[in-house]
């Protein structure tokens, strides 16, 4: 892995350790529960809007796992062909 890519991942790993990140993820998790409420949905357009919001929130809530998984894959030595 080159230095620039390593720095990219290190920056994310530093971010994930901060109290601000943890607080943001907790707030997003709480928001996802509220957005996912069927009772608050007005019509089909609102439902699709909420679906989009949940998609974005899911990506952000899974960001730490996504980055760690990508880092592990990028850190593996290339497989040799026989």
Structure tokens at 62: 């899974």
pLDDT for 78 equals 78
Residue with tokens 């069927």: 38
Whether 79 is in a domain gets the answer no
Q: How far apart are CA 11 and CA 14, in angstroms?
A: 5
The tens digit of pLDDT for each residue in 20-49 reads 999 999 999 988 888 888 787 889 998 899
Residue 59 lies in a domain: yes
Is 29 part of any domain?
yes
pLDDT-derived band at 71, boundaries 50, 70, 90:
very high
- pLDDT value of position 45: 92
| Structural domain includes residue 70 | yes
> Does residue 66 form part of some domain?
yes
How far apart, in Å, are the Cα atoms of 66 and each of 9, 12, 49, 59, 69? 11, 11, 24, 9, 5
The answer as to whether 11 is a domain residue is: no
Domain around 53: 20-74
82 part of a folded domain? no
d(CA 57, CA 54): 5
Is this model's pTM higher than 0.85 or not?
no
User: Does 68 map to a domain?
Assistant: yes
- Domain count across the chain: 1
Q: Output DSSP code: residue 2.
A: -
CA distance 73 to 76: 5
């Amino acid at each position: 892995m080159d230095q620039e890519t390593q720095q990219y991942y290190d920056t994310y790993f530093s971010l994930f350790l901060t109290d601000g990140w943890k607080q943001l993820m907790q707030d997003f998790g709480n928001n996802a529960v509220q957005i996912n409420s069927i009772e608050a949905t007005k019509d089909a357009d609102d439902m699709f809007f909420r679906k989009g919001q949940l998609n974005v929130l899911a990506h952000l809530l899974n960001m730490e796992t996504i980055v760690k998984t990508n880092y592990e894959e990028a850190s593996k030595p290339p497989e040799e062909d026989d």
